[in-house]
């Protein structure tokens, strides 16, 4: 924006080209980061900062073996594995002390395995379900029903230490 020499009450926006009142102008100094000294935009062209949805990434390291939907384990064995993953999800959020999500969220689950063999990430849904239940136990999510959670969408994360990385975004 350039300020008119005769009238300091109005300015022309460099983005939309319209004249705006000087009170509707936002001045941002980027001189430390870039070679542009001052950038002034009208409030109409500048989106508010709260339009970006909140996003959190939570890494839950494997406390025990995976719970695979193709496994045929005894229900007590599954219960022990589920309890371990659920406690790991609770501990991961409690450690970070983040503010809880009060509305609906979308969850992406990225699965990291120590070997590069083929596997179906969707077969690990019982593991991710236990971790999400741990997030609810910690109070990070209101609930994990269809009104509060979209997903979790299962993805292959890559080769690395056995872990699940949850990306949670406000819906």
Residues 66 and 113 both lie in one domain = yes
Residues 103 and 161 both lie in one domain = yes
Strand ranges across the sheet with 2-3 = 2-3, 10-12, 19-21
Residues 31 and 59 both lie in one domain = no
Residue 112 belongs to domain spanning: 53-170
Residues 138 and 103 both lie in one domain = yes
- Residue 97 has a pLDDT of 83
- Residue 98 has a pLDDT of 85
Q: Is 133's pLDDT higher than 70?
A: yes
From the list 47, 59, 52, the residue with the least C-alpha distance to 169 is: 52
Give me the phi and psi of 63, to 5 degrees please.
Answer: -80, -20
> Pick from 48, 63, 79: which residue ends a domain?
48
Asked if 124 contacts 153 with a C-beta cutoff of 8 angstroms, the reply is: no
Q: Is 33's pLDDT higher than 50?
A: no
CA–CA separation, 127 and 35 (whole Å):
49
What average pLDDT does this structure show over 138-159?
A: 93
Residues 98 and 164 both lie in one domain = yes
CA–CA separation, 39 and 154 (whole Å):
42
Taking the model in full, what pTM does it have?
0.70
Asked if 84 contacts 128 with a C-beta cutoff of 8 angstroms, the reply is: no
Predicted confidence (pLDDT) per residue in 43-57, tens digit = 666 655 555 788 999
- Residue 54 has a pLDDT of 86
Residues 26 and 95 both lie in one domain = no
What average pLDDT does this structure show over 74-96?
A: 94
CA–CA separation, 75 and 28 (whole Å):
60
CATH number at residue 117: 3.30.1330.70
């Amino acid at each position: 924006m350039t300020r008119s020499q005769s009238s300091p009450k109005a300015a022309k926006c460099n983005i939309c080209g319209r004249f705006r009142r000087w009170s509707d102008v936002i001045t941002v100094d980027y001189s430390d980061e870039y070679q542009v000294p001052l950038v002034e935009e009208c409030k109409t062209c500048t989106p508010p900062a709260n339009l970006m949805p909140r996003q959190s990434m939570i890494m839950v390291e494997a406390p025990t073996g995976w719970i695979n939907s193709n496994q045929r384990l005894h229900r007590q064995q599954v219960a022990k594995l589920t309890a371990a993953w659920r406690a790991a999800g609770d501990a991961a959020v409690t450690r970070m002390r983040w503010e809880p999500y009060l509305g609906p969220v979308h969850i992406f689950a990225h699965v990291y395995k120590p070997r590069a063999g083929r596997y179906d990430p969707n077969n690990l849904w019982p593991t991710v379900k236990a971790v999400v239940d741990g997030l609810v136990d910690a109070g990070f999510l209101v609930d994990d029903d269809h009104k509060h959670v979209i997903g979790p969408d299962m993805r292959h994360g890559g080769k690395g230490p056995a872990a699940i990385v949850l990306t949670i975004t406000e819906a």
